[in-house]
Amino acid sequence: MNGLVSNPVLPLWLVLSCGALYAWLSWRTYGKCKLSMPQKCTLWGLRMAAFLLLAWMLLLQSLQTKQSQTEKPAVALLLDTSASMEENPMGADKTRAERARELMLSPAIRSLTDKARIFTFGLGADIQENPNNPQFTSPRSLISQQIARILARFRGDKLAAVILLSDGLDHSAERIDASTLGVPFFIPELEEPGEPIHNAQLDFAVGETSYPKRVTVNWKTGITVAVKRLSGVQAATFPVQLMQDGTVLQEESIVFAEKETTRRISFQIEPSRLGPQLYEIRIAPQEDENSANNRKELLIEVTDNKQRILYLEGTPRWEFKFLKRSLLAEQNLQLHAFVKFGDGSFISFDESNSGDPMPALTHDALKEYKAIIVGDLTASALSDAEASAVCKFVEDGGALLMLGGVNAYKEDGIAFTKGLSSIMPASYLPGSSMREGRFTVDFTPEGRVLSAFASLAEEGRFPPLLTLWAPVKPGPFTSTYLAAADGTPLLLGRQAGQGRTAMILSDSLWRWQMGGNDGDGGKGLYGRFITQLIHWLCPDKQGELADTPLQVLIADSEVDQHQKVIVGAIGNVGQSGVTCLITTPSNKTLTFPMIAAKLEDEVGLTQPQNGFRCDFTPDEIGTYKLEARSTDGTRHASTILLSRFPELEHTGAPINRAFLHNLAEKSGGAWVTWSRRNSLLEGVTLTPRTLEVVSVRPIWNHWFGLAFLMTLYCLEWWLRRKWELV
């Protein structure tokens, strides 16, 4: 179906009125000339033709074409790529992964391409689209979380069915409600029921370790180690040692009861030397099938830097309590916390400096701090001069975290007034409010690429929030790092001058204190999130970098084997180039030329810096020494990189039938045994849908219109000359 549509620059009545006036004036002009009637009509007709052509252009005419198209329904094929898919606890003829691959290549799946559009996703710690050769190496499977993310991507599309090839060993923090998914799940049984076959030979391994990557010298810190049983069922007792430089620092005995799979043990250290410190965890079971997994190295950066944080809060709410507790426990952060009382004064609530007066919020006083946290304060909490000093503090390289609530985010709250709005990541929108509900949140693509949140992005276990302030308008220089399932922002950040600002749009984040596994020396999920956020916000000491002749930079001092590492170097080397010398754990020396480049997140910097870079992939497990050296040999610097064996999800557990069967049944799909796998999609209705495709092609701006207009004007001018009117 075709038709003309207009989008006039001027109202049609105005165009017609101008046309009538123009026609009358033109005729009067030619009426007083000594021309014959045919000559007058000719000139008047040329002018009117030019006007009509201009009017056509002002109407912006377009040709609209409507076509009906038939679209096949979509079918999502979800493949669990976690390491547990390679396990075979029942001793079957094929592993779960082998059966999943076989089903993906089966005629039952291949025949779907004639009736539906097939979208394939790999589900692990993250989502992989269209995996050509899927590898079952993901350290964990977040099935519920990834299903919710994939279904959100199919909103507006006709998703007829989901085929899930998984063992159901879900590590998500929250289970999905299958009855609300709105699409049937069809799940084949990748493993027959039965009792797992236990290997008689014992095998123990050093598993996950939790410890801070950076600590302050002469501060006590904790290291938590998980020791796992990989095979065997017998009881066992053996020592676990913490070592450094070949010396046993501490030793504890660990006791495994019969069939017990995991035990945890903790050590405390108090580093007295500055710089990177390499520790080793070693277990010594009397009987062990594989001794290669009985040791693990840890790299901890020991510094003497303390970053001062100023925290201003409106009331001693739950957020204040847990944030203060988390930051006071952080060894390289020094927190100064103050709460505003009814008389307008701020009272110290920091145990470490109780009684200290509130610092003056001036430009000179704020230079002593690395970051400012602003809580649920009203606009009256800061004077205009104080707000200007805070803005200047950020623009000069400081950090600001807005952790407000209703008082801070309302129209006249501190977040959007008093001059702070110019550096805020978002602005106020009419009708915004603190919405209550149950909001599932996750990292956005921008949040997942930040090295500061790498460990949390891999874990992906965020309990739901009960409040979100919305809507807000993100600024042009703002990135959203955490968002709800519907896209509502939770954590926004932006660069402001030389510093950074961030805002958390919820007053129920403190509930994360009660969720997630302990890590980083025993801190919960909330503590890890807040401290990593503060470290990301606080800028690097660019002045110190500039004073250093040469410095080696890497984003993370610990990486998995075969994971690409980007090595950066910053410093004044004059006209000399820079070479990177890498000493491997087997004492081989590798030489890489470093090229000039702009460095930032990829080497752990928060602000762009000119320097040099190269990349390499560690092929061995152990400690690498990275040394950057100027080609003239006058400057050099080094650091240590630890390459570790990837920690995979090996549980030895059978598939989770209850989870998979519940998902299939409540979603309206089907759970079928392996023998009936070819009838997996029986009863699925794959009905195509008809779409109306509208295309609009402008026809007012074609070149021949302008050419015709110029021809009319030229012809009129030529006739006026011929008839001696000019």
Distance, in Å, from the CA atom of 498 to the CA atom of 423, rounded to the nearest integer, reads 11
Residues 6+ away with beta carbon under 8 Å from 614: 566, 567, 580, 592, 593, 594, 595
Q: Which residues pair with 299 in a beta bridge?
A: 278
Contact 604, 551 (CB under 8 A): no
pLDDT value for 231: 80
Question: Is residue 498 within 8 Å of residue 473, measured between CB atoms?
Answer: no
Do 79 and 121 contact (CB within 8 A), yes or no?
yes
Q: What is the 3-state secondary structure (H, E, C) of 567-635?
A: EEEECCCCCCCEEEEEECCCCCEEEEEEEEEEECHHHCCCCCEEEEEEEECCCCCEEEEEEEEECCCCC
Q: Which residues contact 44 (CB under 8 A, 6 or more apart)?
A: 23, 26, 27, 30
DSSP 8-state code for residue 415: G
Q: How far apart are CA 8 and CA 419, in angstroms?
A: 42
Q: Is residue 301 part of a domain?
A: no
Helix (H), strand (E) at residue 239: strand 236-244
Clarify whether residues 530 and 472 are in a common domain: yes
Examine the domain organization and report whether 241 and 183 are in the same domain: no
- The answer to whether residue 131 sits within a structural domain is yes
Q: Is residue 583 part of a domain?
A: yes
Which residues does residue 672 pair with via DSSP β-bridges, in sequence order? 188
Give the C-alpha separation, 412 to 377, whole Å.
10
Mean pLDDT per 10-residue interval, the chain, length 726 residues: 72 83 81 78 84 80 79 92 87 91 87 88 86 82 87 85 92 74 92 76 84 78 87 89 93 91 89 86 89 87 78 88 84 82 72 64 86 90 89 88 90 83 90 91 84 70 88 88 91 87 92 62 75 80 48 85 87 83 94 91 78 91 91 84 76 85 92 89 79 76 79 84 75
- Cross-strand pairs, 592: 580
| H or E element that contains 28 | helix 12-31
Same domain, 223 and 339: no
Per DSSP, what are the bridge partners of residue 209? 225
Asked if 450 and 493 touch (Cβ cutoff 8 Å), the reply is no
Which tokens belong to 457? 């992005």
Our measurement of the distance from residue 560's CA atom to the centroid of its chain's CA atoms, rounded to an integer in Å, reads 20
363 assigned to some structural domain: yes
Cα-only R_g, the chain: 34
Residues 6+ apart with CB under 8 A from 261: 228, 229, 651, 652
628-640 pLDDT tens trace: 998 888 788 888 9
Buried b (16+ CB within 10 A) or exposed e, 38-48: ebbebbbebbb
Instruction: Tell me: do 115 and 189 sit in the same domain.
Output: yes
Q: What is the pLDDT of residues 499-555, one digit of tens each?
A: 899 999 999 998 888 655 444 444 678 888 898 898 888 855 443 443 346 888 898
* Rounded distance between C-alpha atoms, residue 644 and residue 386, angstroms: 49
Residues 601 and 567 reside in one and the same domain: yes
| Euclidean distance between CA atoms 650 and 195, whole angstroms | 17
Please report which helix (H) or strand (E) contains residue 109, including its range: helix 107-110
Cα distances (Å, whole numbers) of residue 522 to 244, 516, 620, 706: 22, 11, 30, 75
Pairing label, strands 578-583, 622-630: antiparallel
Other beta carbons less than 10 A from residue 555's beta carbon: 18
Phi, psi (rounded to 5 degrees) for 60: 50, 60
Q: Which of 584, 615, 644 is the last residue of a domain?
A: 644
Is beta strand 565-570 parallel, antiparallel or unpaired with respect to 578-583? unpaired
Number of folded domains in the chain?
A: 5
Length of the chain: 726
Q: Are residues 146 and 207 in the same domain?
A: no
Query: How many other C-beta atoms are found inside a 10 Å radius of the C-beta of residue 87?
Result: 24
Cα dihedral 479, 481, 482, 486 sign: positive
Give the amino acid at 522: G
- SS3 of residue 424 by DSSP: coil
Contact yes or no for 375/313 (Cβ under 8 A)? yes
| Nearby residues of 629 by Cβ (< 8 Å), 6 or more positions away | 550, 578, 579, 580, 581, 635, 636
Sheet of 203-210, strands arranged across: 203-210, 221-231, 262-269
Question: Are both 188 and 208 inside the same structural domain?
Answer: no
- Residue in 299, 300, 296, 266 with CA at minimum distance from that of residue 647: 296
Tell me the C-alpha distance between 564 and 445, whole Å. 20
Under 8 Å between Cβ of 608 and 625:
no
Judged by DSSP in three states, 241 sits in strand
For 344, other C-beta atoms within 10 Å of its C-beta total: 8
Q: How far apart are CA 596 and CA 422, in angstroms?
A: 35
CB contact at 8 A, 214 and 227: no
The pLDDT value given to residue 178: 79
Q: Among candidates 144, 76, 119, 181, which has minimal Cα distance to 442? A: 144
Answer yes or no: do 444 and 334 share one domain. yes
Domain carrying residue 603: 542-644
User: Which pLDDT belongs to residue 588?
Assistant: 93
Distance from CA of residue 38 to its chain's centroid? Answer: 76
Residue pair 454/558 in contact by the 8 Å Cβ criterion: no
Q: How many CB atoms lie within 10 A of CB 220?
A: 11
Characterise 552 by phi-psi region: left (phi > 0), alpha (psi -120 to 50), beta (else). Answer: beta
299 in any annotated domain: no
In a domain, residue 52? The reply is yes
The answer on 100 and 14 residing in a single domain is no
Domain of residue 359, CATH code: 3.40.50.880
In a domain, 300, yes or no: no
What is the side-by-side order of every strand in the sheet holding 247-256? Answer: 214-216, 295-303, 275-283, 236-244, 247-256
Residues 281 and 350 in one domain: no
Is 12 in the same domain as 106? no
Paired with 188 in beta bridges are 672
Only one residue has tokens 């040791």, namely 295
DSSP secondary structure of 86-137 = G--TT--SS-HHHHHHHHHTSHHHHGGGGTSEEEEEEESSSEEES-SS----
In sequence order, what are the beta bridge partners of 579?
A: 593, 629
Token pair in block for residue 161: 């069915």
Does one domain contain both 532 and 546?
no
Q: Is residue 166 part of a domain?
A: yes
Q: How far apart are CA 302 and CA 291, in angstroms?
A: 30
What pTM was computed for the model? 0.51
Spatial separation of the C-alpha atoms in residues 714 and 721, rounded to whole Å:
11
